[in-house]
Amino acid sequence: MTNNVDNKSYLATSIIVIIILSVSHQSLVYGLSSPSVYSKDSAPYGMPYTDWMNKWWQWHISLPTKGHPFIIRNLENCPVGNFGQVSFLTNSIQGESRYTCTIPAGHAILLRIAAAECSTPELPADQRSPADYIKCATEGQQYLTFEVTVDGVRINGLEQNNALAKFFNITIPEDNVYNIKSGTYKSVSAGYFAFLKPLPVGQHTISIAARVVNPVDPSFNFAYHTLFNLKVQ
């Protein structure tokens, strides 16, 4: 009788341990303990989130066409924009791409998932009301699906982080990846970013997979998967 009780107790304990281990494993697999990010309503380092978006766009458009990650899908030493304690990264939004980058220790990281910037030269002269700018910057994100992981752990809640920035002036150089006429123009930006809080020193991976399948206007369609191999030092 005692042995049966002991066996039952042992069995019950074993089941509890298995359940705990299973739940812990699922937490890791499904990202229940999500990496830390800044929300669209925050002000990282004293600056509104949306102002950081505009700074990202100014950096992105300022990079020379040759070697720009937007058109080059594999780079061993990718460009990094460092502003204060924030590092900017950019990537191609078509197909598979892989980038190896070095990030200063203690820096937050700002990456585009799916976002657009719309400036004056991109709009017809008779369609430049504030609503026209906003439509231009936002309509491409309809029917968007995406997933972002850091070191294999999914970042949760980014679906609620669709942000619309304030109007700003963007300076476009002669050599730019969008072949837009150079100059300083009124602009607006909108969309989804991942704004990661600083990662520990060492090696990390960030994976971004995103796609738009627009049944109304296929010209907005895109699909990509980017892997960033980061060295934080």
Tokens of 233: 């030092």
Residue type, 87: S
- Amino acid, res. 97: S
Q: What pLDDT does residue 151 have? A: 97
| CA 197/CA 82 separation, integer angstroms | 14
Report pLDDT for 28.
Answer: 38
pTM, whole model, 2 decimals? Answer: 0.85
Residues 17-43: pLDDT tens digits?
Answer: 333 333 334 333 333 447 899 999 999
- Whole-number pLDDT of residue 140: 94
pLDDT, residue 224, reads 98
φ, ψ (nearest 5 deg) of residue 3: -65, -40
Strand locations in 51-162 (E): 74-75, 81-83, 86-89, 95-103, 108-119, 144-150, 153-154
pLDDT of residue 35: 83
pLDDT value for 23: 34
- Closest alpha carbon to 106 in 199, 194, 37: 199
Low pLDDT (below 70) residues in the chain = 1-33
Given this model, what pLDDT does residue 222 score? 96
Q: Which of 199, 210, 171, 176 is nearest to 93 (CA)?
A: 210
